[in-house]
């Protein structure tokens, strides 16, 4: 296996002299953090009030802009001007327009938030958060910041990664690399471990809005991600809603106001956090204007409310293990504030058969791992520090004749990766083609997600199947896709890099994976049927062209038999029986072999007409 070259091209790693300053940034949906590794210790950088987390919230007023805690103050009074969870919309396309009442479309068709300061895209919002983290780092550290590693969810696709990179560049941050969040956590925990023998690691990441599970192999300082999975519609916010719904039911409030629900969610979050260390909790509800001054909740009741949610994460863990082809792991790492819950930790221990590692702050561990890798990437790498190999979450391929998908890069392939495959033309005289790039696990184009289309022209006019077109897929270390097509005879070339306009959210990726398992048998049957039809249609088209050109080589009864057999194949092509179609195609193909031989003889005779024997280059040996 080829290892990833982790230094920037053209940079020489130096182990002497002053250390270069690099940052690890966890750009989170709910909170964001920035960390720095000084060579001995990782420091999660705090603000002037001693707070490490920066709420991922931005307020855009008519006369002022605020980020973080200052922006949260406006969430109740000016919700339309207060943007939260913008990360969810990064890389989203206009076709994936959110039902958020404060989200609109710009004149260019991009998603944006309508605020008093004008339209603000998710990239701009994320850039404001990253700018605040950069300013915090510049205030806390002495020296020039060389760059940063920014973490992204394991399920972020090409467009979402591109949008993250754009946000960082807009914030004036040089992106050293985009790193999967579970992989960053593994770095924070695994770099100091004894890795002489190969070991398997599970990273269980239960954040505020999503759940991710990754299975990694570590050996001799190398992390290789074997499989990723999760549930993009599950996180700590769902636990808060479970408590809120329980309290609303207890209070008999079937139609609470927006302020009541939002305030209850805040109280629910505090109760959840308290129940991680206490058996019961009581919170004041006087400001809610309800017929109750206090709300109560026990840990036992809370665990009953969220038992089904925890079970969903465990099912995703089992799927990830199966995808990785392993039955067990050697270690388990916990990431995300929701993993502080005793019930979550017990469930994870039971699922994997071992106690999880939780010595590092689960809210900070991702930023800490990113800081470690950032330090390596700017040339401060010391002996024994880890290299990383990530994987792509969904297969990449292109459309072939008949509306089928030919997978070029399989799901869970290690990145960076390059794969090439040769294709040809489907029709005589074809001088161009459209390359349709797709992502997904299904067999038919309509069941996969379209990434891009581009044209290749300049193909020499030849008979169908004679052209040689090499299509190459390249996925870099950030998960960014580039596709190129080259016609081998002329060197004609065309390529495309997937742009952020083709975004895909985590829910859709998860659903695509589920559908690939659910419809596997149906998809394979459909593929076999389509391939059989394509083969039959190609034979009919070839015979029709041959008979139009050389019909005189057939006797009358032969012509009649051919026409009869061709009609029979034409009729069976509309059926849904691939076996019958193949049998009829093979029968007609065998029947046409003599006709093909006669045509070949005629072609040779035409080629030799008027040519002297003495001019032929004959091997005399």
Main-chain phi, psi angles of 227, to 5 degrees: -165, 150
Pairing assessment for the beta strands 175-180 and 145-152 based on DSSP bridges: parallel
Coil, strand or helix at 50: coil
Residues 73 and 82: beta-carbon distance below 8 Å: no
Within 10 Å of residue 221's Cβ, how many Cβ atoms?
A: 16
Residue 192 annotated in active site? no
Residues 412 and 389 sit within 8 Å (Cβ to Cβ): no
**Interatomic CA distance for residues 335 and 230, integer angstroms:** 13
214: enclosing H helix or E strand: strand 211-219
- CA separation for the pair 122, 106 (Å, rounded): 12
Catalytic, 205? Answer yes
Identify the residue whose tokens are 């329980």. Answer: 246
| Residue 593 φ then ψ, to 5° | -65, -40
Scanning 203-276, the segments in alpha helix (DSSP H) are 236-251, 258-274
Q: Collapse the DSSP code of 449 into the 3-class scheme (helix H, G, I; strand E, B; otherwise coil) and give the result.
A: strand
**87 is a catalytic site residue:** yes
Of 124, 158, 181, 237, which is the active-site residue? 181
List the beta bridge partners of residue 483.
473, 496
Task: Provide the CA 394 distance to its chain's centre, in angstroms.
Answer: 6
What are the angstrom distances between the C-alpha of 493 and each of 44, 45, 460, 472, 474?
48, 48, 13, 11, 15
Between 299-324 and 342-352, two packed helices, what is the crossing angle to 10 degrees? 30
From 87, 272, 372, 407, active-site residue: 87
* Residue 26: active-site member: yes
d(CA 476, CA 479) in angstroms, rounded, equals: 5
CB 153 within 8 A of CB 336: no
Residue from 124, 205, 487, 537 carrying the catalytic annotation: 205
Q: Give the integer Cα–Cα distance in Å for 607 and 166.
A: 61
Looking at the DSSP bridge assignments, the partners of residue 101 are none
> CA–CA separation, 549 vs 442, rounded Å?
41
Report H helices in 376-463: none
Q: How far apart are CA 256 and CA 210, in angstroms?
A: 26
Cα separation, 212 vs 408, whole angstroms: 25
Smallest CA-to-CA distance from 251 within 307, 290, 278, 289 is with 290
Catalytic site residues? 26, 87, 181, 205
């Amino acid at each position: 296996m080829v290892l990833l070259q982790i230094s920037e091209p053209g940079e020489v790693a130096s182990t002497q002299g002053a250390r270069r300053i690099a940052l690890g940034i966890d750009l989170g949906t709910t909170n964001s953090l920035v960390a720095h590794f000084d060579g001995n210790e990782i420091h999660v950088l705090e603000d002037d009030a001693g707070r490490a987390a920066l709420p991922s919230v931005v307020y855009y007023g008519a006369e002022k802009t605020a980020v973080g805690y200052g922006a949260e103050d406006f969430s109740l009074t000016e919700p339309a001007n207060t943007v939260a969870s913008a990360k969810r919309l990064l890389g989203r396309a206009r076709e994936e327009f959110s039902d958020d009442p404060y989200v609109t479309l710009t004149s260019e068709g991009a998603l944006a938030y309508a605020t008093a300061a004008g339209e603000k895209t998710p990239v701009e919002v994320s850039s404001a958060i990253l700018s605040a983290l950069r300013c915090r780092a510049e205030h806390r550290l002495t020296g020039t910041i060389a760059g940063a590693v920014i973490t992204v969810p394991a399920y972020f696709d090409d467009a979402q990664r591109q949008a993250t990179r754009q946000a960082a560049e807009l914030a004036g941050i040089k992106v050293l690399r985009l790193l999967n969040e579970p992989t960053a956590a593994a770095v924070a925990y695994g770099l100091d471990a004894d890795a002489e023998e190969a070991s398997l690691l599970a990273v269980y990441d239960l954040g505020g809005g999503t759940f991710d599970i990754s299975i990694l192999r570590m050996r001799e300082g190398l992390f290789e991600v074997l499989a990723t999975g999760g549930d993009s519609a599950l996180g700590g916010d769902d636990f808060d809603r479970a408590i809120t719904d329980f309290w609303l039911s207890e209070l008999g409030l079937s139609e609470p106001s927006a302020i009541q629900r939002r305030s209850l969610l805040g109280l629910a979050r505090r109760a959840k956090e308290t129940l991680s260390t206490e058996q019961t909790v009581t919170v004041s509800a006087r400001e809610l204007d309800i017929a109750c001054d206090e709300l109560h909740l026990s840990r036992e009741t809370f665990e009953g409310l969220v038992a089904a949610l925890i079970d969903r994460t465990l099912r995703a863990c089992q799927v990830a293990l199966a995808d990785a082809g392993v039955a067990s792991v050697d270690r388990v790492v916990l990431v995300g504030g929701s993993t502080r819950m005793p019930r979550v930790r017990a469930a994870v221990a039971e699922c994997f058969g071992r106690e999880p590692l939780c010595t590092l702050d689960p809210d900070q561990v991702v930023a800490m791992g990113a800081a470690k890798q950032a330090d390596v990437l700017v040339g401060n790498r010391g002996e024994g520090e880890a290299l990383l190999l990530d994987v792509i979450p969904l297969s990449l391929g292109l459309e072939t004749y008949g509306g089928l998908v030919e997978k070029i890069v399989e799901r869970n392939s290690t990145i960076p990766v390059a794969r090439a495959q040769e294709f040809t033309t489907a029709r005589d005289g074809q001088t161009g083609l459209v390359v349709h790039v797709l992502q997904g696990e299904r067999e038919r184009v309509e069941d996969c997600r379209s990434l891009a289309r581009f044209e290749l022209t300049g193909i020499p006019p030849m008979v169908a199947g004679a052209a040689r077109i090499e299509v190459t897929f390249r996925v870099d270390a950030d998960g960014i896709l580039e596709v190129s097509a080259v016609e081998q005879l002329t060197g004609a070339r065309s390529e495309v890099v997937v742009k952020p306009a083709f975004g895909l959210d985590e829910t859709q990726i998860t659903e695509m994976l589920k559908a690939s398992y659910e419809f596997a048998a149906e998809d394979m049957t459909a593929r076999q049927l389509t391939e059989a039809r394509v083969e039959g249609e190609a034979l009919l088209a070839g015979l029709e062209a041959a008979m139009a050109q050389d019909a005189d080589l057939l006797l009358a009864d032969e012509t009649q038999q051919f026409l009869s057999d061709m009609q029979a194949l034409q009729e069976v092509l509309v059926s849904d029986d691939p076996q019958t179609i193949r049998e009829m195609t093979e029968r007609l193909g065998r029947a046409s072999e003599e006709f093909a031989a006669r045509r070949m003889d005629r072609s040779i005779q035409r080629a030799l007409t008027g040519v002297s024997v003495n001019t032929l280059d004959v091997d005399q040996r």
